[in-house]
């Protein structure tokens, strides 16, 4: 075995530049469109809207900012409640707190690991009975896999509650041949450094409601009233994307489909090499959906595999391989200890099971096959070593 110190670190998901970004950056410099906004921003918005199949898009400084704007546009304020998937990154829910509203968390189901329609139905019914429906439902598409949009949309429509689709992880994915991000009243994307394409930092708010997106652009530029002097009658934010970064985004969007293919190939290689090991189960892909497989995720049954996910992650870290547990459900976060939570079933909390057994493997589209073999060998060794140990005992 090669000594770990001479091996390079394998990251979970690192930025993958195409080489064409420089062209757009150079153009921005040559025309001195350095300040926020400019032709790259306008073009990037149009290109994302066209790709996603929505009417309008607003480029902003982060995915978090896009969620904040969506909630603002839906009139969320103090004392309101907002429903949100529990199995997700904190950024899905933080903007609820920015607006002084209260999050209510909804569990996952097994087939997509995303929001359980059963859990949502229970929560909406409960809210209706108490006479206080949520102002919005934030549905997350975890690790690239689309949630059960048909069921969730039907429930939101039934109670007339708007949906925000948090597609930060699922750009390039689809549900019944319709692009991820195009389902809710609003959709949001993230171009953070670890996402499938990146602008180093950035986000996008999309909608078929063009007027709402115009208003989002207004709110994102300090809500300046149309007057020659600086006049403001609403709370605004400084949330727009810079023209230089939008240039990076345009070049990245051109290679998105290649990036999806690469990540899907990585998933398939892991699955082929590891799915026959005892206790290993890969994240499913729901029929008639197409996942960008942003991160390869799987569960490890400690009894069958002989190792826990924590031990597996430690073993990988020793070999300079970055793996992570599945997101810690938000209803278990200290920040949200007082928040309400609706599990999938009365005695069945799927997100807690996924958190206990789930692991995300390095999945960057710039990973070499040799890197992936290193990850595979390390996992195989951890599990088969335990098998041998048990047989000897
Ligand atoms: C990355 C991410 C966000 C936030 O995006 P930023 O651009 O980092 O603010 C929101 N939701 C989910 C599910 C994410 O993974």
pLDDT tens-digit readout, 273-284: 999 999 999 999
Question: Mean pLDDT, to the nearest integer, of 109-114?
Answer: 98
Instruction: Give one DSSP letter per residue of 256-302, joined into a string.
Output: HHHHHHHHHHHHHHHHHHHTTSTTEEEPP--TTEE---SSEEEEE-H
CA–centroid distance, 249 to ligand 1, in Å, is 16
Q: Give the confidence band of 385 by pLDDT, cuts at 50, 70, 90.
A: confident
Mean pLDDT of 71-81: 97
Q: Give residue 1's pLDDT band: very low, low, confident or very high (50, 70, 90).
A: low
Class of domain 256-392: alpha beta
The Cα–Cα gap between 186 and 165 comes to 6
CATH code for the domain defined by 21-253:
3.40.640.10
pLDDT computed for residue 360 by the predictor? 98
Give me the mean pLDDT over the 62-71 stretch.
98
User: Relative to the CA of 88, which ligand 1 atom is closest?
Assistant: 13
> Per-residue pLDDT averaged across 72-85, rounded?
98
Residue 3 has pLDDT above 90, yes or no: no
**What residues flank ligand 1, with Cβ below 6 Å?**
62-64, 88-89, 91-92, 140, 166, 168-169, 190, 192, 203
- Position 36 pLDDT exceeds 90: no
CA 309–ligand 1 middle distance (angstroms): 24
Given a contact cutoff of 8 angstroms between Cβ atoms, the answer to whether 244 and 27 are in contact is no
Average model confidence (pLDDT) for the chain? 95
Which atom number of ligand 1 is nearest to the Cα of residue 140?
13
Mean pLDDT of the 13-26 span: 95
Residue among 67, 59, 4 at smallest CA distance from 36:
59
- With a cut of 90, say whether residue 2 has pLDDT above it: no
> How many angstroms is it from 190 CA to the middle of ligand 1?
6
Please tell me the distance between residue 235's alpha carbon and the centre of ligand 1 in angstroms.
23
Question: What is the average pLDDT across 285-312?
Answer: 97
pLDDT at 393: 60
- 135-183 residue pLDDT tens: 999 999 999 999 999 999 999 999 999 999 999 999 999 999 999 999 9
Q: Which atom of ligand 1 is nearest to the CA of 64?
A: 9
The torsion region of residue 222 among left (phi > 0), alpha (psi -120 to 50) and beta comes to: left
Cα 47 from Cα 129, distance rounded (Å): 43
| pLDDT confidence tier of residue 7, bands split at 50, 70 and 90 | confident
Please say if the pLDDT value at position 359 is more than 90.
yes
Residue range(s) in the chain whose domain bears CATH number 3.90.1150.10: 256-392
| Ranges in the chain annotated CATH 3.40.640.10 | 21-253
For ligand 1, atom 6: residue with the closest CA = 63
CA 37, CA 30: separation in Å to the nearest integer?
Answer: 15
Instruction: Tell me, in angstroms, the distance from the centre of ligand 1 to residue 4's CA.
Output: 32
Report percent pLDDT > 70 for the chain. Answer: 96
Cα of 317 from ligand 1 centre, angstroms? 24
* CB-based contact 241:247 (threshold 8 Å): no
Distance in angstroms (rounded) separating the CA atoms of residues 95 and 389: 49
């Amino acid at each position: 075995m090669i000594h770990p110190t001479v091996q390079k670190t394998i990251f979970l998901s690192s930025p993958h530049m195409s080489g064409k970004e420089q062209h757009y950056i150079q153009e921005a410099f040559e025309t001195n469109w350095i300040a926020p906004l400019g032709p790259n921003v306008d073009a990037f918005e149009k290109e994302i809207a066209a790709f996603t199949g929505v009417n309008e898009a607003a480029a902003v400084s982060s995915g978090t900012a896009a969620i904040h704007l969506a909630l603002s546009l839906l009139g969320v304020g103090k004392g309101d409640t907002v429903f949100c998937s529990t199995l997700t990154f904190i950024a899905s829910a933080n903007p609820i707190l920015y607006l002084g509203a209260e999050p209510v968390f909804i569990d996952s189901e097994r087939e997509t690991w995303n929001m359980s329609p059963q859990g949502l139905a229970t929560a909406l019914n409960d809210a209706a009975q108490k006479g206080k429906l949520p102002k919005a439902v934030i549905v997350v598409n975890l690790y690239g896999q689309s949630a059960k949009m048909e069921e969730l949309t039907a429930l939101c429509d039934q109670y007339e509650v708007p949906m925000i689709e948090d597609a930060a992880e699922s750009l390039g994915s689809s549900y019944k041949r319709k692009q991820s991000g195009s389902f809710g009243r609003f959709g949001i994307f993230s171009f953070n450094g670890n996402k499938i394409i990146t602008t180093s930092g950035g986000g996008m708010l999309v909608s078929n409601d063009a007027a709402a997106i115009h208003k989002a652009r207004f709110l994102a530029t300090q809500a300046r009233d149309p007057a020659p002097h600086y006049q403001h009658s609403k709370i605004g934010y400084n949330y727009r994307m810079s023209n230089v970064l939008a240039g990076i985004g345009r070049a990245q969007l051109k290679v998105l489909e290649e990036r999806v293919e690469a990540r899907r190939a990585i998933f398939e290689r892991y699955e082929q090499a590891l799915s026959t090991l005892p206790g290993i189960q890969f994240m499913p892909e729901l029929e008639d959906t197409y996942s960008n497989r942003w991160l390869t995720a799987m569960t490890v049954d400690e009894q069958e595999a002989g190792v826990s996910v924590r031990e597996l992650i430690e073993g990988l870290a020793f070999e300079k391989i970055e793996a992570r547990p599945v997101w810690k459900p938000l209803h278990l976060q200290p920040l949200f200890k007082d928040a309400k939570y609706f599990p999938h079933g009365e005695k069945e909390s799927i997100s807690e099971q996924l958190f206990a057994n789930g692991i995300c493997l390095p999945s960057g589209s710039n990973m070499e096959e040799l890197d992936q073999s290193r990850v595979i060998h390390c996992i195989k060794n951890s599990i088969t070593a335990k098998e041998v140990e048990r047989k000897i005992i």
